[in-house]
Structure 1
Amino acid sequence: MENTNSLNRRDFMRLAGLAGAATLAAPGFAFAEAKKRKFEIGATFILWGYGANNLEPSLQDISALGYHAFETFGNVIEDYEKNRGGFLPVVQKYGVPLVSTFCQTDIVDPSKKAGDMEKLVRWAKMTKAAGGKVIEYCASGVNRKGFDYKQHKDYMVSSMNDYAKAVTDEGLVCALHPHTGTAIETEEEIYYVMENVDTRYMKFGPDVGQIQKGGGDPVKICKDFVSLIEHVHLKDFAGGDNGWLGYSPLGQGKVQLATILDMLEKKKKKMAGMIMFELDYDNKVKPAYTPLEAAKISRDFLASLDYKFEKKTI
């Protein structure tokens, strides 16, 4: 007589298969073995605004939420250095180190190169003095209506090589940040630039939400250029006029964030910069959450994927 408490091989395999399917269906299943992440998570300050007045409120929240570092703009550092008693005192007050600075130059108008180069080098020096490691480099805006990068491609590449070498000569890493509304927005533009710039100097600093908004595939682009990635803006994109220019707190949009993070964890031993949570700020529409709330939602999404925020107080 068969023991009703026993399982035959066929029953065992069937139940094991069901258990496996349940595991696959569970949120975050791909990270079940990722108990220890090698990358830490920082935050950019623009969720709180774009000017020097927004720096201290952003650092207060970033520190309380346990993010490991922050990014600001070159002009914000300069404003503090010239007009507010220095940049480092406010950074040290909140205990969140600077890892990167966002800087822009023109790459279609040669007449602007000398001034932009002087500014970029000046901000790179300030970034290094403040402990930063990366210039998140972005082309300045263009009129996208009728814009054809092929008309400017040679100068785009040559000027970016010069800008990136200047940053490298200052002892920092220069990482290209594609951005909507600039000369490097579409997937075609990203591939052309990254396949033609001198990657001894120009590395890659993708903003995955910007790529999604620009019509590109952030997973494919990150996979193809993973060896060059030295810094990341981790941003989600939901679309619509929502107070964040169509972006959203992490986990509430369309970007395959978990896939991208898993790829970085598996493919990259280290980065000069960091994975940085970012959510743009738009003062024209009131968003659903305060900056603190949106940053907390995003932190908690990342914590669900086993990223650690050990110094959090909120």
Structure 2
Amino acid sequence: MANFRLSVHQITWGQNLELALKEISEFGYRGTETFAGVVDEFAGREDDLRAKFSDAGVRLTALYGGGRFWAAGEEDETIAWNMRIAEFLQSMGADRLVLGPAAPHLEGGTSDQQFQTMAAVANEIGERCREMGVTAGIHPHWNTPVQDESEIHRIFDLVDTDKVKMVLDPAHIAKAGSDPVAICERYAPIICYVHIKDYSPELDTPEANIREEGLAPTLAFFSELGDGIVDTPGFVQVLRDSDYDGWLTIELDRSQTTARQSLANNTRYLREVLGFDIGGDNP
């Protein structure tokens, strides 16, 4: 039986951890994801971070790691970094590691050798994580070497899916020109974690990685739930039919208003369109 628990990624708040925790908690969410920079920031003082989460009444759901795991000669470094993240997750009582391939999408596409390297590194990370009670999942992502549908199929044909799962975001699939519902149907048995947002083609911009102080990348085409072309109800229904039991994490790279207002709009969609209880279990 499916069971959805709702979480929010802190990316919309930039580097403001305290404000993110405060506002996520005020809307009744049980969990939150953030980037793996906290591993260095709170090294040796994990209790401080645990206290921040405890005071807000939310738990850590995942950390966003990964990196250049297709790059020959960097395998040991990439594995070591992700294992540090996994150890930090374990210390925080969390068990999902998002393996996000680093940007950009490789010119000419990802080569066979790069796929082979990526699979070997991911398998090693996945195996070590599994021994620690942490699940690692590759995250297909626009503007990375695992962007297009053919690239998704290739890497998941190569990895050992007993060790390496999938982290899926329908908006990234839509941005790359594929059908998120079809991808979800194909890979439902190995989906271990989910990001949700929408994709609005009319807002497309080629400037993917512009940063301002303390803010996330300017990815205007990723939008609030219900504002774009993603069939979110259909996507969620596929997960439900496959008995997905895990987190649905709202992730919005950049609000067009404020992080709080975007969270209010997304929360309204989750309640009114999907019928979710924000702080509860949702079959």
TM-score, length basis structure 2: 0.87
Contact in 1 for aligned 2:62/2:97 (Cα 8 Å)? yes
Partner of 2:144: 182
Distance (whole Å) between structure 2 residues aligned to residue 228 and residue 83 of structure 1: 34
Measured against aligned partners, the alpha-carbon deviations of 1:279-313 in whole angstroms (never above 9, x if no partner) come to: 013xxxxx5321000011001101012100249xx
Q: Choose the corresponding residue for 2:232, options 257, 271, 286.
A: 257
Q: Structure 1: which amino acid aligns with 2:250?
A: F
Q: CA deviation at 1:263?
A: 1.4
Partner of 2:199: 237
Q: Choose the corresponding residue for 2:165, options 203, 212, 223.
A: 203
Distance (whole Å) between structure 2 residues aligned to residue 105 and residue 183 of structure 1: 11
Q: Choose the corresponding residue for 1:193, options 131, 148, 155.
A: 155
Partner of 2:267: 299
Distance (whole Å) between structure 2 residues aligned to residue 267 and residue 179 of structure 1: 23
TM-score, length basis structure 1: 0.79
Q: CA deviation at 1:269?
A: 4.9
Q: Choose the corresponding residue for 2:69, options 99, 102, 107.
A: 107
Q: CA deviation at 1:241?
A: 5.1
Partner of 2:213: none
Distance (whole Å) between structure 1 residues aligned to residue 94 and residue 152 of structure 2: 25
Distance (whole Å) between structure 2 residues aligned to residue 91 and residue 64 of structure 1: 13
**Which is higher, the Rg of structure 1 or of structure 2?**
1
Map residues 1-314 of structure 1 onto 2, 5 A cutoff. Answer: 38-49=3-14, 51=15, 54-82=16-44, 86-142=48-104, 144-239=106-201, 240=203, 243-271=218-246, 274-281=247-254, 287-304=255-272, 305-310=274-279
* Shift in CA distance, 143/269, structure 1 to aligned 2, threshold 3 Å: closer
Partner of 2:210: none
Distance (whole Å) between structure 2 residues aligned to residue 98 and residue 45 of structure 1: 11
Q: Structure 1: which amino acid aligns with 2:115?
A: K
Q: CA deviation at 1:143?
A: 5.0
Unaligned runs of 5+ in 1: 1-35, 282-286
Q: How many equivalent pairs are there?
A: 266
* Secondary structure, counterpart of 1:111 in structure 2: coil
Distance (whole Å) between structure 1 residues aligned to residue 235 and residue 105 of structure 2: 30
Q: CA deviation at 1:129?
A: 0.7
Superposed CA RMSD in Å reads: 2.1
Contact in 1 for aligned 2:79/2:121 (Cα 8 Å)? no
* Secondary structure, counterpart of 2:8 in structure 1: strand
Q: CA deviation at 1:95?
A: 0.8
**Ranges of 4+ aligned residues in structure 1 off by more than 6 Å:** none
Distance (whole Å) between structure 2 residues aligned to residue 308 and residue 225 of structure 1: 26
Measured against aligned partners, the alpha-carbon deviations of 1:170-197 in whole angstroms (never above 9, x if no partner) come to: 2101111111121101111011111221
Higher relative contact order (CA 8 A, sep 6+): 2
* Secondary structure, counterpart of 1:205 in structure 2: strand
In percent, how many aligned pairs have the same letter?
A: 24
Distance (whole Å) between structure 2 residues aligned to residue 121 and residue 226 of structure 1: 26
